[in-house]
A and B are shown apart, each in its own frame.
Chain A
Amino acid sequence: MLEISPIFNAMMRHKSHALLLIIQIALTLAIVANAAFIIENRLTLMNRDSGLPEAQLFKFDVFSFGKDIDLNQQMELDETMLRAIPGVIDAVTINQIPISGSGDNTIFMDRDDTPNKNNNDKNLHSKSNTPAKHVHTGVYRGDTHTLNTLGVKLIAGRNFSEDEIIYGNETQPISVAIVSKAFITTMFPELKGLEQQGVGKLIYVFRIPIKIIGIVDKLQSSQVTSSHIEQTIILPKIQTRNFYRFLIRTAANQQQAVIDKVENLMLKLYPNRVIRTPRTLTYLRDNSYADDKMMTQLLMILIVILFLITALGIVGMAVFNVNRRRKQIGTRRALGASKGNIIRYFMIENWLITNLGIVLGIALSILLSQFLMQQFSLPKLDNSYIMATMIAIWLLGIMAVYFPAKKAAQISPAIATRSI
């Protein structure tokens, strides 16, 4: 038999006793639901597929200080040597490393809309009433080995040919590019599901038209925090600088062996340079997502602490109530309450407090979520997180109050006849 109404009425006559606990439960619900949501978002972010065989990839940087070489030629020699190392699948000089955290990006457009003296706005508007589409894009520069080294899958079109590669001292503009599928769907939304038809399309950067000759299934850029991470382009260009870097793909079980050799082999080929410590893509990924990882860990600790404090609050409240009501418990027992009735009394009382806290907590969760959306551009809190936290708090409440309630049931009914 439930006795909700008298318990509720009695509680309402001592609002202040329950109020702090209600607020505590409400805050716990609001913070835990939002924290769990943030954790889940970060984990989703961290677990995104880069489209790369990460375990097979590593990179290293080269800084040449010798003035006695032709850098273009030296880069070619380096590549040839690296590709010949046993265990190496392919190697390429590349401007940026995927998911490493820093690299180049620029804006591509679907048509040339840069106003100038000869080609003014009138001309532009004759083409279209809407402004040109601007797409933030991560830019890779490399040669014909780039695709194979990255290990990405070409789903349409073709790779670069050797004569399309532009080396640093050559002046002709870039005319072809390979892009990611996500780039196509962003640049040409009408091609969603038909991305292969993006081959042959023209895109523009600094008024230069570039023809898409190939599309890869998936290739993330270096900037893991960017919302444009999936939109990438590979341009057929090798820049000649005394600072350059290599990306090397090996068989997964050969990676360490190749890394161990690389510095010596590079210096043997030409000694007047510094080889910076090779880094695997796994290392770079951990590094890039270190903040997210720390955030999820901190939030997890926060959740555990909040649950602990709330459980302690419930236990403390229950113990306080049991001790305050020893005589009342004895009287209830004398009037016919079984031990089960006494346990139930405290469980129901706590359940009512928990529910009040939960109702307040739901409102607070939504407010907190709105605040986080405004201040930190977080997505809207999913209701399932509120539900899950609610259930967790219910279970926590039941567990926390059970032992004090059981202790209350052990109070002898004979206490009722003691006059204190």
Chain B
Amino acid sequence: MLKMQQINKIYRTELVETHALREFNLSVNEGEFVTVTGPSGSGKTTFLNIAGLLEEISQGQYFLDGVNVVGLNDKERSRLRNEKIGFIFQSFNLIPDLNLFENVDVPLRYRGFNAKERKRRIEQALEQVGLAARMKHLPAQLSGGQQQRVAIARALAGEPKFLLADEPTGNLDSLMARQVMELLKNINKQGTTIVMVTHDAALARCGQRNIQIVDGQVCDFSLYDKNPQASAFENPQTAASTTTTAASIA
């Protein structure tokens, strides 16, 4: 699904050259739920931006669902983002002036679906996150957890192969965090590849595989559990400790 080879990302200012990623290698298979952790400044966000085609790489190769993204122009990158990737942001990034229906509609319009198809997908996606009854509400009228669920619906409506989640529970309390994580796990079960960036080690255990980034490189490549049945949220005791940690950080 995602294949990064020898990626370097260098930020240059007049005085300083920062290697945000160096010789970064990573493969994520279709259907996997991978969590990415690392301390502040380790390069997590840079990895996320590059994986999500939000930034270009300085050197290396990156294949997204078999497509070599190096050298694509803005339009091609935008199209690829729109079709392949669903984004979930820490601060939800809903558009405050648009109601829920219109928010979920945003990526679908860029895709060019007709009105009927968009309506079907929006209703289905909002149904899936349990907010179909509140389509005409504005984001400000919802709780944080509900907003994040709308954002997930927005990510799902385009039926992407790959969900990229950036601290999706970082701004939520424990109960809401738990609901969102359960939703993500369900989505993954239905076959969508998920890469989730977090700095919460406990939350990182929710995935099938955890990757640690330190100083712009993949440092630790540990497999928590290859069997999703036994992962954190399936076990009530582990789940409790995880959500507590998430809440204390948030």
Residues of chain A whose beta carbon lies under 8 Å from any beta carbon of chain B: 1, 3, 6, 9-11, 13-14, 327-328, 331-341, 412-414, 416-420
Contact = CB atoms under 8 A, between A and B. Distances in A.
Nearest to B76: A338
Interface in B127-149: 138
B102 A416 contact: no
A14 B49 contact: no
B151 to A, nearest CB: 10
Interface string B89-121: 111010111110010011101111000000000
Given A9-B102, A417-B166, A339 B74 contact: yes
25 contacts: A1-B110, A1-B112, A3-B109, A6-B105, A9-B97, A9-B99, A10-B97, A14-B97, A327-B93, A328-B95, A331-B93, A332-B95, A334-B52, A334-B93, A335-B106, A336-B110, A336-B111, A336-B158, A338-B79, A341-B110, A413-B55, A417-B89, A418-B45, A419-B90, A419-B91
B75 interface: yes
Contacts of A327: 93
B205 interface: no
B82 A336 contact: yes
> B interface, how many residues as a size bin?
35 or more
B67 interface: no
A417 B54 contact: yes
Contacts of B209: none
Interface in B160-195: 166-167, 170
B26 interface: no
A412 B102 CA distance: 23
Counting from the closest, the 9 A-B pairs by CB-CB distance are A336-B82, A10-B97, A336-B110, A338-B78, A335-B107, A331-B93, A414-B54, A413-B54, A414-B49
Contact of A337 (B49, B78, B99, B170): B78
A403 to B, nearest CB: 19
A416 B95 contact: no
Main SS at interface, chain A? helix
Nearest to B83: A336
Interface in B59-86: 74-75, 78-79, 81-83
Given A334-B52, A337-B110, A416 B87 contact: yes
A418 B154 CA distance: 19
B95 A331 contact: yes
